[in-house]
Amino acid sequence: ALPIFPWRRLLLPTYKPQKPIQLDFIHQLHDIQLFLNLLGIQQYFTPCNEADDVIATLVSQKKPETIVTIFTVDKDIMQLVDVNCEVFDGDKIFSPDGVFKKFGVHPNEIPDFLAIRGDLFDNINGIDGYGIKKAQKIIHQYHSIENIPPDHEIYQSIIELSVNKKIATLNKSCDLHELIPQNKSNETIESILDKYQLVKIKEKLKRSEERRVG
């Protein structure tokens, strides 16, 4: 079978080790996709890329005056934050200033920061001896790994840094396809909620519909 993220795996074979996919997960994923489709929420996919890349492409295609809010806890997405794009992590809304306060670097510097520090979740090894503080210091001084001079001690790892940065940088030009899941069992919003015993969500949707009709 083809790897899920082939272009990143070609750069770094150890990137995000793929775990066996259980059949239950496949069924649940289809139900989620179908549920969103029945709610009228558009969904997109793209071959050889990740969900973050899909989000990055959608953000890049938005109208300049459109304000976008991304709901995620993924720090990679923080690189998309600007005056018209914010990230909500379930607790705080991050503006460019908020990103700097949390990570100590500006949104566009996140890939460089992760290239130096590394990302355990994605199995990206950073540079030995360079944690958060030292990575921030490098970014504050040079802003980009491309600006690191040859006489700097970290320059000896420039090839590794370049690979890490490419992996951490989101693809903003994916070939997007709309996802329209099949509904062979004629499922409804209610039947899917009942299947997973999501009583509270069902009640909230019912109240919302009653207010809309009323």
SS3 category, 82: strand
> What are the structure tokens assigned to 6, written together?
């082939």
Q: What pLDDT does 74 receive? A: 93
**pLDDT at residue 112, as a whole number:** 98
Q: What's the CA gap between 207 and 146, in Å, rounded?
A: 54
pLDDT of amino acid 209: 85
Q: Provide the pLDDT for residue 5.
A: 60
Give residue 214's pLDDT: 64
Name the stretches of the chain with pLDDT < 70.
1-5, 214
Amino acid, res. 4: I
Give the per-residue pLDDT at 16: 85
Q: Please state, as a whole number, how many other Cβ atoms lie within 10 Å of the Cβ of residue 8.
A: 23
Instruction: Check residue 213 and give its pLDDT.
Output: 74
Q: Which of 212, 174, 158 is nearest to 49 (CA)?
A: 174
pTM of the model: 0.90
- In sequence order, the 6+-apart residues with CB closer than 8 A to the CB of 193 are 35, 199, 201, 202, 205
